[in-house]
Amino acid sequence: MSETILEKTEGRVSYHDSVEEMLIRIREDGMSNVFDRWASQEKIRCKFCLEGLSCQLCSQGPCRINLKGEQGKGVCGIGPDAMAMR
């Protein structure tokens, strides 16, 4: 990523000016938005989900892969790369 892009996005939720403008209007109107809800949940976020190592697709789950431990695959045999892809 070029330095210009990094400088422009520092402290912003989006590279696009239109998204930033809409966010300002939404906040002024006191409406809820995904960016503020995401930030407010920082302390309760699942680390497995953030890393893409959680799967809730089948009735045997949810599976969580721990790359440092023995659980390197989900119950169905899915590996971390495929789980993150889903």
Quick one: pLDDT at residue 68? 76
Residue (of 52, 56, 50) closest to 84 by Cα position = 52
Residue 31, pLDDT score: 95
The reported pLDDT for the residue numbered 29 is 96
> Which ranges of the chain have pLDDT less than 70?
1-9
Residue 42 phi, psi dihedral angles, 5° rounding: -55, -40
pTM greater than 0.85 (yes/no): no
Query: Which single residue is written with the structure tokens 């809409």?
Result: 22
Domain spans of the chain, in order of start: 3-44, 47-85
In this structure, the chain runs to a length of 86
User: CA 20, 26, 29, 34 torsion: positive or negative?
Assistant: negative
